[in-house]
Amino acid sequence: MGERTTATGLFSVTHRTCGIDFLDAQHVELLAFADELHRAMVAGKASGMIADFLDRLAVTLDDQLATEEQVMIVSDYPDLDEHSHSHEAARAKLKTLMHAFQSGALPIAFDTMDFVRTWLRTHLPAEDRQFADFLLNRRSAMFVRKGRWRSGAIFSPREEPVGASVNGS
């Protein structure tokens, strides 16, 4: 684990990597979304792509948050309720943005960019960092560090799932 600036183009964020490939990959995917929207805004093309962008962002964000929550459940993360509450707040904010877009509110691209940027700069380095520290130090989460996590399934730590690798393994 360490501090790293990840840049996907025009947008970058400094964050502490989790040290767990599939979680870090999800964070980089959100950075790519932020960059995609930023490029469209700079090019003056955001209004033509925002509907599709919001739909894809909603699916991606929900998948990523659900994956985190599954790992929290399996690893008996003590702050699951609090962390999940912040996930629900993000989902609600995105739904509000989608509703505003459908109602014709402007400037929805800027508001969406602000939401993604704020999420990346606040949730990742604080709450996700705390979760990653817990997870990497949790003996019962050994299966995650050894690359035995399979996204999309909830199972007990005694099971032998296969899946993503871990940085430095």
Low-confidence ranges of the chain (pLDDT < 50): 1, 10, 13-16, 140-141, 150-169
pLDDT of 18 reads: 64
pLDDT of 140 reads: 47
Residues 60/52, Cβ–Cβ less than 8 Å:
no
**β pairing state of 3-7 and 12-16:** antiparallel
pTM tops 0.85: no
pLDDT single digits (tens) 108-157: 888 888 888 888 888 877 888 888 888 777 754 455 555 555 444 444 34
Quick one: tokens of 130? 């705390």
C-alpha to C-alpha distance for 109 and 94, rounded to whole angstroms: 12
